[in-house]
Homo-oligomer: A and B are copies of this chain.
């Protein structure tokens, strides 16, 4: 025992003294691989089967194999998968950028459907997968898994991979599908993380109505307070930048403030045990609606591209990381005692994922279609299949939750836990590669030439390319928003479509109260004389 402790201390000492060199090596490796992914991704851009995520995943896997061979089977990864790295550094820029670049009108028009899919749908998927796992796995001898573990499996495999979705669907090609699937993905991430955390804290032996109600109340509280925090942070940044007119002195200060405030909102949410994903998503939406219009021209270009770049690097890194981590030899050694069982468990989980998603996409689409009047507004059967398929990918959120549940700081000694980890990795790799690769061809097959015409605003098809939808473009918006309000048919539309009524009153409120206070497009006078303006225009 004494010797063991000393050996442990020596090992820690050796690790900490060589950590400098080891971390430098691994940072070099990761950055070089990231560069390779970017160049390869660019070369494969024309290819419609492979996207950047899959490239990164494959490069990561290959690197893992090479490391495995050079270290003679001792280790396959340079870094152990760390939840901290994922939740603190990689996820926030991705989700913030998604909120920042999302087409707000499209998103809010489908808000009810998105929430339905994201919250209720995830619950349905969670129950389907959990019950399926209980029914099937309890008959297969796979170690000590209790009810809590099965419910955790449900939560883990209900988390779709919104990062991968962003890469297979395109905002400009299929705006409705993009906003539905991606919006659902964000709410879904939040739902499954909240579900997972709630499951860890609740006493699962006494499930009654009170517990369920408390759970629902807790969920609603998290949803609302997270949203509120994000909106508050966004508005605060808009107010500060508008009042102080920071761009007068330095455009860098504006960009820095936007970045830091967004990140602060995420970290505050994590500190308060809220859902940082929801918070930073809404912070991004509010920032693109108000703050972005208050900054100088060069800050606008910079934030737009800098946020997208950071998100892009984080995404690529994430897939690289998951690819390299997949071959983690420790868990596979445990699982390799029974390869048949491991494969069958992965196959069953994949099947449950397919069934669990089908169990809510088709019924909820039916429900959603009941509220729509015109047939053009309804989600068609082909679109439903695409929605079902595009949300099948499981990604880093699943892996992070699985590591949290089934390991202790990345290591496990239990047979059942090791199998669950390897199965999660298998499901993630398989779904990302196979389902991910087939999404683009599937969309082209199911929604061939008409994919550009599929929009949820059939009454004015030209608005697809109008500045209102692409709200990041900032020049002739004022005129466009005026024409929108003053459009002759608007009264009829308001009466027939409740979401449009909400939108109309929101616009009125926005123009009368919010924009004069927080800025936003049309409410910030163009100042050609400011120093940053000059330097940008001089650069032209």
Contacts A256-B309, A305-B252, A312-B252 given; does A539 touch B474 at CB 8 Å: yes
Contact yes or no, B249 A45, CB < 8 A:
yes
* A449: interface (CB < 8 Å): no
* Total copies of this chain within the assembly: 2
Contacts A28-B268, A268-B28, A540-B297 given; does A309 touch B34 at CB 8 Å: no
Contact yes or no, A305 B261, CB < 8 A:
no
A539 to chain B, nearest CB (A): 5
* A447: interface (CB < 8 Å): no
Contacts A23-B84, A28-B271 given; does A35 touch B264 at CB 8 Å: yes
* A475: interface (CB < 8 Å): yes
* A263: interface (CB < 8 Å): yes
* A200: interface (CB < 8 Å): no
Q: Contact check: which of B12, B35, B305, B474 meets A251 at CB < 8 Å?
A: B305
Most chain B beta-carbon neighbours within 10 Å: one of A5, A304, A305: A305
Contact yes or no, A244 B475, CB < 8 A:
no
Stretch of A36-44, A68-76, A390-398 lying at the B interface = A36-44
Separation of A439 and B474 alpha carbons in the complex (Å): 42
A sample of 26 inter-chain contacts (CB < 8 A) reads: A2-B2, A5-B5, A5-B9, A8-B9, A20-B84, A24-B270, A27-B267, A28-B271, A34-B256, A35-B264, A38-B246, A38-B257, A39-B240, A42-B244, A42-B246, A42-B249, A43-B244, A250-B312, A252-B305, A252-B308, A252-B312, A259-B313, A302-B305, A472-B539, A474-B540, A475-B540
Further contacts, 9 of them, CB under 8 A, given A306-B309, A475-B538: A5-B5, A8-B9, A24-B267, A25-B271, A28-B271, A34-B260, A41-B253, A256-B309, A474-B539
**What are the 4 A-B residue pairs with the smallest beta carbon separation, nearest first?**
A302-B305, A306-B306, A255-B309, A301-B301
